[in-house]
Amino acid sequence: MAEEQQTDVLVIGGGMAGLMAAGALRGRGLRVTLADKGVRVGGRLATRRIGPGRGDHGAQFFTARSAEFQTLVAGWLAEGVIIPWANGFGDGSSDAMPTNGHPRYVVRGGMNALAQHLVQQLMPEVTVETSLRLAALSPEGVGWRAQADSGRLFACRAVVLTPPVPRALDLLDLDVFTEADRAALRRIEYAPCLAGLFWVDGEVDLPEPGAIQRPDEWISWVADNRRKGISPEATVITVHTGPQSSRDLWETTERDALAALRAAVEPFLAPGAVIREAQLKAWRYALPTVLHPEPYLPAAGLPPLVFAGDAFGGPRVEGAALSGLEAGRALAAILGV
Ligand SMILES: Cc1cc2nc3c(=O)[nH]c(=O)nc-3n(C[C@H](O)[C@H](O)[C@H](O)COP(=O)(O)OP(=O)(O)OC[C@H]3O[C@@H](n4cnc5c(N)ncnc54)[C@H](O)[C@@H]3O)c2cc1C
């Protein structure tokens, strides 16, 4: 039988929400463990190498609309972790670049580099475990018992759950929740999105600032990661499917989906430009479409367990960050620290 690892708080998921929750719990005399199934933390803050370059295939940029997130962003700007990219994107029908007053920030080296920056600040005080997928979570006495798919066991006083909600609920027996919590969690919905990354040898014709956004169309986003500043070595194009095409293409083979995305990129290639490599990422839970009305959900009638993530704080990087922060603080209050 595997030995149980003791910790005070287990934060499941090392995306923006989990990283922020762990940060809010740090420095309070608690043993905090953050576990993520990925090889690296970041979740939908995702960047991949392709050919000699790299591209973001999850979140593309972020805005800062709340005073709290603006303070964090000011710190990351001062540290040189992030850079402003643009104040808006056109739909490609003209070269004019619309501005709506919200600066869009990108991360030096790609969006995942922000997660790496945040996790460095957590360690060594917070124990960070990657490539660790939690498979089951059950209340035990005044706390929780968690089991990883590798068989590793954790005993803890409290849990923060930040995977997309359907994934988080896979870990639990739904009967442990009150009827109200079960209904609230089941109400949350997400839309999928397919992301294509294309390494292009040659020029790509996209208007300033090197991206177009058409939220409701077949292709909702096309961006040049070189012009964004994260792929100086090579032109790497990111393409995202829109709401309808995400659903239409979800059941097709990877080959067909990639061919459809490739056909969407080709009109932007300058004469002589060639696609050298293509990669696909299918995000099953890309963006929440039906959200919980509060920034986190503390489960009632159970040992301390708080749900957090973009389905609670808002469907973007900022929403996930604020949800994680508030969930971490709420849990600290529940634990009396
Ligand atoms: C294609 C796409 C484009 C987007 N574009 C933008 C954008 O331009 N701007 C913007 O602001 N937002 C954008 N978003 C949304 C943004 O990425 C998310 O709102 C935010 O990153 C969510 O963070 P999170 O921590 O809530 O969830 P996630 O980032 O999903 O983190 C959850 C973490 O849980 C881990 N996990 C899951 N199950 C387990 C388990 N069983 N055990 C251990 N770990 C587990 C996962 O590996 C993951 O790291 C986009 C998202 C996608 C997919």
DSSP per-residue codes, 184-246: HHHH-EEEEEEEEEEEEES-B---TTTEEE-TTSSEEEEEEHHHHTS-TTSEEEEEEE-HHHH
Phi-psi region of 151 (alpha: psi -120 to 50; beta: other; left: phi over 0): left
Ligand 1 centroid–CA 161 distance in Å is 13
Counting ligand 1 atoms within 8 A of each CB, the residue from 16, 44, 144 with the most, and so the one to mutate, is 44
Burial of 174 (0-12, 13-18, 19+ CB in 10 A): exposed
User: Is 43's C-beta closer than 6 angstroms to any atom of ligand 1?
Assistant: yes
User: Is 199's C-beta closer than 6 angstroms to any atom of ligand 1?
Assistant: no
User: Is 196's C-beta closer than 6 angstroms to any atom of ligand 1?
Assistant: no
The whole-angstrom distance between residue 313's C-alpha and the CA centroid of its chain comes to 13
User: Is 320's C-beta closer than 6 angstroms to any atom of ligand 1?
Assistant: yes
Architecture of domain 4-39+130-188+291-335: 3-Layer(bba) Sandwich (3.50)
Instruction: Give ranges for CATH 3.50.50.60 in the chain.
Output: 4-39+130-188+291-335
Identify the residue whose C-alpha is closest to ligand 1 atom 33.
13
- Is domain 47-114+189-288 classified as CATH 3.40.50.300? no
**pLDDT recorded at residue 128:** 98
Instruction: Give ranges for CATH 3.90.660.10 in the chain.
Output: 47-114+189-288
**pLDDT recorded at residue 92:** 82
User: Judging by DSSP bridges, how do beta strands 127-129 and 32-35 pair with one another?
Assistant: parallel
**pLDDT recorded at residue 327:** 98
Q: Which atom of ligand 1 is nearest to the CA of 135?
A: 41
pLDDT in tens, the chain (337 residues): 568 999 999 999 999 999 999 999 999 999 999 999 999 999 999 999 999 999 999 999 999 999 999 999 999 999 999 999 999 898 888 766 666 678 999 999 999 999 999 999 999 999 999 999 999 999 999 999 999 999 999 999 999 999 999 999 999 999 999 999 999 999 999 999 999 999 999 999 999 999 999 988 999 999 999 999 999 999 999 999 999 999 999 999 999 999 999 999 999 999 999 999 999 999 999 999 999 999 999 999 999 999 999 999 999 999 999 999 999 999 999 999 9
What does pTM read for this prediction?
0.97
Q: How far apart are the C-alpha atoms of 56 and 53, rounded to whole Å?
A: 11
